[in-house]
Structure 1
């Protein structure tokens, strides 16, 4: 079991990917339309009113007003104030951006060498891989008998809870291996992109839970989304969400501040006890982040018919990888729409996908942040 959880090493991939008779392939740009940056879109969520219990630091007339459901706290200045200035998650978010630059950003077909270099960044000590190997999804029941997802045998008994080692890591390792061997490099990059996107989505939810006993984990809950950035200059997942849904990004940042507000009000230097306030902040955060991930998926569906067959296969690989992770929440909201999304996202052929049906299902399921 321990051997299965270990990530592949860069040296292993380098040896399998190249030799003197198998030179490293140089990056090749895809068609020109692919190189245009994703535009920052206008998002209208006027019909999506915040819940009465939401934390709303951008609205002074509400925040600490007569109808405010939150006591005055450290986040009321609309700024995140770290509990511990040393936030290791910031480096993981930076590594994610470096991996993106090597594998799927900047209009490139990633070379074998790029996969090896990206794997080095993924597996650096205390880096992304070290957290994927133990990441839990707290939406699901705990593992039996108090087991931890990093313990031998536990991921097999609780695969949904142990989403990192049981589901994400096998996808990532397989894609790194195939990419380093030159097998559909853009498709493999898209699989890694989708798996890491879900990791960075699920990590804030996990860190809010662990912050109950470890206050500094609230900093990680903020940094997994923001990369340690300010609201107006997002990086990492926050930049991705802002590009497809500016209003959703604003709501997500509000919620990250709600988490910090909760911990400021709830014995900041020790164990928390106000779980009702924690759960309120966590639900606000999760709702916005789910909408953000869904909007990224929606964008790939709308782009699916464009470009060459390789372009379409790349986007379909991203859809095939990411969409199943949204199924739990989708079915909890609307089972019939969830089935539409499952059907369209599990297609083996881009031409068989009903894009209109898929996007309509996403709009119905994840309409508000």
Structure 2
């Protein structure tokens, strides 16, 4: 006698029929898809922007560096000075440069920082702030890059000097025309995010060269040491960064700390060298070199971030990053070529591409990380 029990009806169904029955029991089931998770929002911005984590654990200060955060400078090669308490002590109460950095932040809030498309009115108000008497624009017009040999006359002394010496006369020869053209285009309502990005890049270039220029001019005008500090910090303590310092601190905190150390080195030099004009050029140049190394690293990290954002932006948002990089990568070229010509070539090739989609972002990032590894 067959004592086995009969199988329930659903166990005798073919597999496909069973699957249909089960699906019917549980309602409609959406089949899996292979569509990628979106990385760009409706405005073309990154949904989850790349995040850079700074690691400079293998970097060590030079023997000539000023280190106020380490035992109040007691373990470095510098003589005891006013900056050893890790605070910048102003030479003068009033520092006009602070207002110029505040103008930069106003322009940033108006044109790019608030993640909105700037309007014609935004460009108009930003340009009014830029062109204030003795304001930010007045200093762009005469800014010189002290990395290059001096011109035979001041860069703002005649129209021919900037044309003949564009690298030294970076303000009137390169930055001013670009900024003016971008403001005019933005005020006509043309590609607002692209024009905002060009202005941003040009002003960051200005904020990089300005502290270094002020260190040199502090040789004969001690108030310019205050300006060197303020052009980087906006006149703020370490932890309250504005202007360029805000950019650097948000991406690379230790690089920011090193840059702030260097501004204190400048003040230390002028405390130890109170002659007018100053006489201790070797000490001055130690402070300036320390500041330059940190600022270059800061600029490289900013550029690095914009390269990475090319991978998750689209439309005008991507074109804005591309415009930013085409302005600012040439700033890095001089020092990059001194350090490693092959990597400098790799970096420069990226901004010579016809379209941002053609950029080799990993190659650019690797080159930047190798060229500017330490502050």
TM-score by length of 1: 0.88
Structure 1 match to 2:257 = 250
Mapped contact 1:115–1:179 kept (Cα < 8 A):
yes
Structure 2 match to 1:166 = 173
Structure 1 match to 2:189 = 182
Q: Give the whole-Å Cα distance in 2 for the aligned partners of 1:81 and 1:296.
A: 29
Structure 1 match to 2:69 = 58
Structure 2 match to 1:19 = none
Q: Give the whole-Å Cα distance in 2 for the aligned partners of 1:30 and 1:186.
A: 15
**Cα offset, 1:308, TM superposition:** 2.2
1:332 is the counterpart of 2:338:
yes
**Cα offset, 1:307, TM superposition:** 2.6
Structure 2 match to 1:31 = 43
User: Aligned runs of 1:187-226 on 2, under 5 Å?
Assistant: 187-226=194-233
- Per-residue CA deviations over 1:171-195 (Å, capped at 9, x if unaligned) read 1011011111111010000000000
Identify if the C-alpha distance between structure 1 residues 359 and 93 changes in structure 2 by more than 3 Å, giving closer, same or farther.
same
Q: Give the whole-Å Cα distance in 2 for the aligned partners of 1:30 and 1:132.
A: 36
Question: SS of 1:231's equivalent?
Answer: coil
- Per-residue CA deviations over 1:39-59 (Å, capped at 9, x if unaligned) read 6x5421111100011000000
Query: Which structure has the bigger radius of gyration?
Result: 2
**Cα offset, 1:342, TM superposition:** 0.2
Matched length: 334
CA RMSD of aligned residues (A): 1.6
Structure 2 match to 1:82 = 90
Q: Give the whole-Å Cα distance in 2 for the aligned partners of 1:273 and 1:182.
A: 52
- Per-residue CA deviations over 1:232-279 (Å, capped at 9, x if unaligned) read 1111110110011111000000000000000000016x2210000000
Structure 1 match to 2:54 = 43
Mapped contact 1:345–1:358 kept (Cα < 8 A):
no
Identify if the C-alpha distance between structure 1 residues 87 and 343 changes in structure 2 by more than 3 Å, giving closer, same or farther.
same
**Cα offset, 1:346, TM superposition:** 2.5
TM-score by length of 2: 0.86
**Cα offset, 1:85, TM superposition:** 1.0
1:139 is the counterpart of 2:147:
yes
Structure 2 match to 1:151 = 157
**Cα offset, 1:199, TM superposition:** 0.2
Mapped contact 2:44–2:317 kept (Cα < 8 A):
no
Structure 1 match to 2:367 = 361
Mapped contact 1:30–1:107 kept (Cα < 8 A):
no
Q: Give the whole-Å Cα distance in 1 for the aligned partners of 2:285 and 2:295.
A: 15
Question: SS of 2:89's equivalent?
Answer: coil
Identify if the C-alpha distance between structure 1 residues 33 and 170 changes in structure 2 by more than 3 Å, giving closer, same or farther.
closer
**Cα offset, 1:309, TM superposition:** 1.7
**Cα offset, 1:220, TM superposition:** 0.3
- Per-residue CA deviations over 1:65-115 (Å, capped at 9, x if unaligned) read 3xx210000000000001011000000000100000110111111001111
User: Aligned runs of 1:7-22 on 2, under 5 Å?
Assistant: none
Q: Give the whole-Å Cα distance in 2 for the aligned partners of 1:38 and 1:226.
A: 25
User: Aligned runs of 1:345-356 on 2, under 5 Å?
Assistant: 345-356=351-362
Q: Give the whole-Å Cα distance in 2 for the aligned partners of 1:178 and 1:361.
A: 33
Identify if the C-alpha distance between structure 1 residues 282 and 357 changes in structure 2 by more than 3 Å, giving closer, same or farther.
same
Which 5+ residue runs of structure 2 have no aligned equivalent?
1-40
**Cα offset, 1:38, TM superposition:** 8.6
**Cα offset, 1:304, TM superposition:** 0.5
Identify if the C-alpha distance between structure 1 residues 91 and 36 changes in structure 2 by more than 3 Å, giving closer, same or farther.
farther
Structure 2 match to 1:4 = none
Which 5+ residue runs of structure 1 have no aligned equivalent?
1-28
Q: Give the whole-Å Cα distance in 1 for the aligned partners of 2:317 and 2:127.
A: 23
